[in-house]
Each structure stands twice: as C-alpha cells, then as structure tokens.
Amino acid sequence: MTALRAASGVSVAGSRSSLLALADVHTYIAGSHILQGVSLDVTEGETTVLLGRNGAGKSTTLRTIMGILPPARGSITLGEVKLDGKPPYFVARQGIGFVPEDRDVFVSLTVEENLKLAQRAGVSRGAAGIEHVYSLFSDLRVARGRSAGAMSGGQQQMLAIARAMVNRNRVILIDEPTKGLAPVIVQELQSIFRSLRDEGETILLVEQNLEFAQAVGHRFFVLDEGRIVHGGPMDELARDSELLRRYIGV
C-alpha cells in the first residue's frame, strides 16, 4: 500500500501543485488528544476526500484548518501563507470557504441575507456570483426572501454550500454534506459537485457516504484515531476492499 508523501509540496497525483498542506498537526479538545499528527495535502483543482470512522477526527481536522480550534502543534499552510494559530476570519480571508457539519446557516436571516453576508470585499463575485448560485440552486432563488430557518434540511445544505461559492475561494472545506439528506437530494448534490469540479474548484471534503465520495472525489486520505493512515487516488479505493473494511468499517 502506498503511503502518501505528505506536506512536501509534491503531490503524488501528478503535475498539479499542492495548495493546502497540513504537517504533523495535533489538536486537543478539553484535554483529549484528538488529532495526533495529521499530515495531508490538498491538490489544486481537485476534490480531496477525507475518510474515516466516526470519531476519527475528520471534523476536527477541518475546524483546525479553519482556525476554530487551535492546533497544539504542527503547521498548516495555504501556498506560502501560514494558517496555524490564526483566527477564523484570517483563514477565511486567505480564500478558504467553509461548509460546516451542522450547516450553520443563519436562521434569523433570509436566504439572500445569508448569501450577502458571505460576500467578501475584493474576492466577491458580486451580483453575478449570487446570480450564478441561484442558477445552480433554483430552490434558493425561489426562497430568496424567506427566512433560512423555514427551509428544509436539504435546502439549508444547498444554502451552506452556495454561501461558500459567492466568493472566489481558493479552497472550500465541506463537512459531511450528505448527512441526513434524502437520496434524491444527494443525487442533486452530486451533480453540483460535478459542476464545481468542472469549474476547477479545489475542495477538501469530509464524507461518510462512500458512494458519494467515490463519485465526486479525485483523491482520498483515511484518518484513523487522529492520524492519516492511508492515501491515494480515488480509484485505488474501490480496488482495495481490505482498506475499506479496516479503516472505514465497510
């Protein structure tokens, strides 16, 4: 099994460069050692999937990158810029969009207000960006004046993703978008991810739904008990059932 040479700036997958890199990141939550030396890199223009069992530390990894949790050790870099130890707004301003596990849309704001709030000066796609988002997510256009709290889970998930797209982001972190969604919505999400891929977006995706992950991802990493234990191109995953069983419990 090929172990991945992480954080060296050299991607295993080929000529594309590594955009976001984590090197030996440790994170504690209330005394528990959750991330025990995570090293991975996200290739530009690709969708990298982070897999693993419940409790392995996948969400924690995204939140650490985002600055919501401070890393105790290790480094996180976006290109040349050091991200570790910085507050979330700094990380976001470097061009990292975040779609959290609980979606965290603002329920007391309307759909449109949620999108407008997300727009960042300088990198915003402006009114065109919002239009583009509405063209991808027609449900949102219909509900634009309605409070985000009145929408279904699937619609809120759309909004959360849409929110990350109103700016020109360099990387988008997405945490379990298919969780709790009906299969038909998951299908919709899949096509959205495909159009994101076509637009060359760089995505780090945490996902439990293996089928979804395989459909949208280029590469994968497996996180087990706070460490990266494996990584490679996505098609390798289908071939290796031993891997699937051991680390993902399938």
Which residues form the interface with another protein (CB under 8 A)? Answer: 28-30, 59-60, 63, 66-70, 85-89, 91-93, 98, 100, 102, 104, 106-109, 113, 116-118, 120, 149, 163
21 or 115, CB closer to another protein?
A: 115
Give the C-alpha separation, 250 to 237, whole Å: 12
CA gap 164, 146 in Å, rounded = 19
- 121: DSSP letter: T
What is the closest distance, in whole angstroms, from the C-beta atom of residue 227 to another protein in the complex? Answer: 19
- 68 secondary structure, DSSP code: S
Distance of closest approach, residue 78 Cβ to another protein, in angstroms? 14
Both tokens of 144, joined, read 């634009």
User: Measuring CA to CA, which residue among 181, 88, 122 is closest to residue 160?
Assistant: 181
Residue 97, Cβ neighbours under 10 Å: how many? 23
Considering the complex, what minimum distance in angstroms separates the CB of residue 70 from another protein? 4
Kindly list the distances between the CA atom of residue 124 and the CA atoms of 81, 158, 161, 196, in Å, as whole numbers in the listed order. 20, 19, 15, 17
Half-sphere exposure of 246 (CA within 13 A, CB side): 10
- Minimum distance from residue 86 beta carbon to another protein (Å): 6
User: What is the smallest separation between the CB atom of 190 and another protein, expressed in angstroms?
Assistant: 25
Would you tell me how many other CB atoms lie within 10 Å of the CB of residue 206? 24
Residue with tokens 């509405």: 134
Please give the Cα distance from 84 to 179 (Å, whole number): 28
* Shortest distance, position 191 Cβ to another protein, whole Å: 26
Nearest residue (CB) to another protein, 68 versus 215: 68
Are 180 and 132 in contact by the 8 Å Cβ rule? The answer is: no
